[in-house]
Chain A
Amino acid sequence: MALQAKNLEVTYRTADGRSVPALTDINLDIADREFVTIIGPSGCGKSTLLKCFGGLLSPSSGEVSVNSEAVTEPDPNRAAFVFQDYTLLPWKNVLDNAAVGLHFDGKSKDECRAKGQEMLELVGLSEFAKQYPRELSGGMQQRVAVARAMAMDPDILLMDEPFGALDEQTRQKLGSEMGRILTETERSVVMVTHSLDEAVFWADRIIVLSARPGRIAKEIEVKAPRPRSLSFIGTDEFAMIRSELFRLLEVPSAMAGASSTDAAAGQ
């Protein structure tokens, strides 16, 4: 078991002192090498959940553990983040960005360079090592961000809408490349997305969250073996799961019980 969440609950306190539940009753087990996508209506707490998994946010109650160790603070060797807006440091070149976690960890310069270069090769950017993030396209920057996460050799990769800021073509191209990389490295991945296609295409298992407060409304398994080629999008399995997701997310009454709590918590 790579990651385990038990009775996870997150409550926000607003400026005027009211408490707003963001996530409630989250129980989840993620297996080694499993690829889990999390999808849900906007504001349902997808990113919050991911932050709890990575220790960036402490849950109000319940607990998260990775390989049976409780997560209380971020540890990139345990769970490494890939952020939506890449968040490369603009004052460091690509190589130093890829190795930034190793650098923070106090690894020697040579070690950082070697590992960073290796990871850049993995994502196909080794010849851009000396360049600065601003000189790279969005898709390339996101690959650097993936290299940075992989350099930590994490048990689990946490990706927050990693392709969200990219245009459709880049997204597909990067997607199929990432598929190869993530499958080759045999890691558990949790990916938050708002795209139905992405949620189905990537996942061994899809977690559908209900509207606020977010709770697990449904888990859907995708049986097709990974890595999948783009032709998977044309299969019946893909179409059926996608239409079910569509129903759950776009038809308010389909997500049982979610809409009433949403109305109560909305304002």
Chain B
Amino acid sequence: MMSATSTQVISGPSRRLKANLLRLVVIVAFFGIWGWAQGPGEASTLIVPKIGDVFNEFFSFLRAGEVYDALRVTLIELVIALAIGALSAFAVAFWSARTDLRAKVVEPLLVWGYLVPHVLFYPIIILWLGVGMSSKIAYAASSAFFPIAFNCLRAFRSVDPKYVALGRAYGASPRQMDWQIKFRASIPLAAAGLRIGCALTMVTVLVAEMLSATNGLGYLLKYYSQSFNTARSYAIILVILLVVGLFYMLISKLLPRDMERRA
């Protein structure tokens, strides 16, 4: 799971240098093994393509229009799915957190929805919405909904009572208590849920495109691998990895950091 809930603090320039060197070593070793498999290892190019071929394909992708079109489709699906999933999850969590009864009823449902493999419903979603973008959005939004809703509900329910006492003692109105104390105090935990939701959205969108679609990065990957174009498949994986990495970086930047160290 890509839920980076803990922020690691590596302090000092020498430590950072060490960490970066180690990362470099890992990357070099990876390509070393790849190169070896291609040369002395005598692996088939159908299984492990030549490194140069992959990069050639990658750069020709960047020049041609096809991949941008697929990228646009995938990104639109991603953003809309995440927006729908997160907003509805937030609304449900906020509503459920208001009373003990609602929370008691809703929480197990969310856990259940979290655990169920949503891919089961994908064929039915396709029946409803067709193979276009809307089925990907619906599927990804429904998978993102549950972890986000569950974490938000937990976050709203577990606000440290001392902050609530402070709000009462210093005259916060019910509205101020809701938004400026309870909501604000629950942001770190809710953000952790949102991170999980993001990761899930990316996975589900790509998987859905691979299962059945007419466009998108996942669709391209399936198409190239099924036509035994391994170098191109690897190149598209590279594109996907870059997109996922950038998307995740963006989300991490937007979400508040884990600043609530015990004051």
Contacts and interface: CB of A to CB of B under 8 A. Distances in A.
Contact of A76 (B171, B184, B187, B262): B171
B128 interface: no
Is chain A's binding surface mostly helix, strand, loop or mixed? loop
B166 A89 contact: yes
A105 B181 CA distance: 14
Contacts of A89: 163, 166, 181, 184-185, 263
Contacts of A132: 259, 263
Contacts of B168: 56, 74
A88 interface: yes
A87 B185 CA distance: 12
Nearest to B162: A87
A104 B162 CA distance: 17
Contact of A90 (B171, B173, B180, B263): B263
Nearest to A89: B163
A66 to B, nearest CB: 14
Interface string A58-89: 00000000000000001111001101011111
A23 to B, nearest CB: 19
A133 B263 contact: yes
Given A134-B261, A141-B263, A87 B166 contact: yes
A115 interface: no
A77 B169 CA distance: 10
B190 to A, nearest CB: 13
A104 B263 contact: no
B132 interface: no
Interface residues of B, number: 22
Given A83-B162, A87-B162, A91-B184, A56 B263 contact: no
Interface in A91-131: 91, 100-101, 104-105
Interface string B209-222: 00000000000000
B170 A100 contact: yes
A15 B240 CA distance: 55
B182 to A, nearest CB: 12
A152 interface: yes
B172 interface: yes
Contacts of A86: 263
Contacts of B42: none
B260 interface: yes
B238 interface: no
A105 B176 CA distance: 10
A148 interface: yes
Contacts of B262: 90, 134
B167 interface: yes
Contacts of B165: 56, 83, 87
B257 to A, nearest CB: 11
Given A134-B261, A141-B263, A87 B171 contact: no
Contacts of B185: 89, 91
Interface in B204-258: none
A128 to B, nearest CB: 14
Interface string B62-83: 0000000000000000000000
A54 interface: yes
5 closest A-B pairs by beta carbon, nearest first, are A133-B263, A101-B170, A90-B263, A81-B169, A104-B172
6 contacts: A56-B169, A86-B263, A91-B187, A104-B173, A105-B171, A134-B259
Given A80-B169, A100-B166, A152-B170, 13 more contacts: A77-B171, A81-B166, A83-B165, A83-B169, A88-B263, A89-B185, A90-B261, A91-B260, A101-B170, A104-B167, A104-B172, A104-B176, A105-B171
